[in-house]
Every structure is written in C-alpha cells, then in structure tokens.
Amino acid sequence: MLTHPDVTSSLAAERTARLLAEAEEYRRAHRPPARWRPARFRQRHADLQRVTQPATAGQAGRAA
C-alpha cells in the first residue's frame, strides 16, 4: 500500500500532537506526591550580624 508523503506526514503530525496532549493530561492527573527537596540557594558565608552570645548561668545569676 503506497500513500502520498503529504498524507503520511500530516497523519504523523496529528498523531504526535495527540500523544503530546494525552501525555500532558496524564501528567496533570497523576501528580507526584509532595516531598522534601533541598534548597536551591545556599548561603556561602553565615550572616553573623544577628547572632548574639548566649547568656551563661553565671551571668544570669549576677543579673538577678
């Protein structure tokens, strides 16, 4: 059975479009469950401006 190349390519294009649409529909219906993922941004150096020294037990006793 011989078919014209234009018919074959148009059928292939229609089938490709249909398969892509079905795949997208399947992906939307079957979302993976939410899970923990590592952060994308990691700070190279710690921001120490907001860090305070913890009060020790001896200093807390003198303050009272």
Q: What does pTM read for this prediction?
A: 0.43
Asked if residue 17 is part of any domain, the answer here is: yes
How confident is the model over 8-21, as a mean pLDDT? 93
- What percentage of the chain's residues is helix, strand, coil (to nearest 5)? 50, 0, 50
Residue 35 or 14, more confident: 14
| Alpha carbons within 13 A on the beta-carbon side of 31 | 4
The domain of 14 spans: 1-31
pLDDT tens digits, one per residue of 16-63: 999 999 999 999 998 877 888 777 776 667 667 777 777 776 665 555
| Alpha carbons within 13 A on the beta-carbon side of 61 | 3
pLDDT at position 41, please?
A: 72
Eight-class DSSP state of 49: T
pLDDT at position 33, please?
A: 79
How many domains is the chain partitioned into structurally?
1
Residue 63 or 15, more confident: 15
